[in-house]
Every structure is written in C-alpha cells, then in structure tokens.
Amino acid sequence: MGEAERGESAPRARISFWCSNGHETQPSFAHDAQVPETWDCPRCGFPAGQDRDSPPDPPRTEPYKTHLAYVRERRSDEDGEAILAEALAKLRGEI
C-alpha cells in the first residue's frame, strides 16, 4: 500500500518536551489534538514537560522494606520483648 493510496496525512506539529536529565523528546501531534502536559522520556523514563528550564521532578521511589522493617515501624523494642516473653512462656507451658 503506497502513500497515494493512504490519502493525505493530517497536519502535524512537533512539540518539544524536556525531562530532568536534560533529554529532549519531540513527538508529533495533530494540529487539532490536545497536547498533554507531560510526556514520558524514551531515554530515561522520567516525566518530561514543555518548559526546558523547569522540567517535572523525577518520581520518588521508596526503597524496598522487609517484613521486619514494617514490624519495627509499628512496635517498639519494649513491645517486642513483651511479645517474645509471652510466646516463650506459652512454649514452656508457664501460661
């Protein structure tokens, strides 16, 4: 299928987006299309905006936490000692 068989393409505009790493991306949009505020950078994956001097901040990722780290957030060391003492007492048959 050649270009003549496809018909005329819609008029397009290339819009520049910049990420916080300074990468520039220029996707093309139809003139009557609504241009999004942000665009994902194809090089690093960070969000990119149309303002070169003030690109969007990169997403903040939380480090992986173990189950023990979550337990320590909820319980103090004293609580842990009390729970351990109670469990040991049950195992020894003291309760």
Annotation-wise, does 23 bind a ligand? yes
Consult the annotation and say whether 64 binds a ligand: no
Secondary structure of 16-58 in HEC code, one letter for each residue: CEEECCCCEECCEEECCCCCCCEEECCCCCCEEECCCCCCCCC
Residue 33 assigned as binding residue: no
3-state secondary structure of 9: coil
* 19 marked ligand binding residue: yes
Per the annotation, binding residues are 19, 23, 41, 44
Per the annotation, binding residues for Zn(2+) are 19, 23, 41, 44
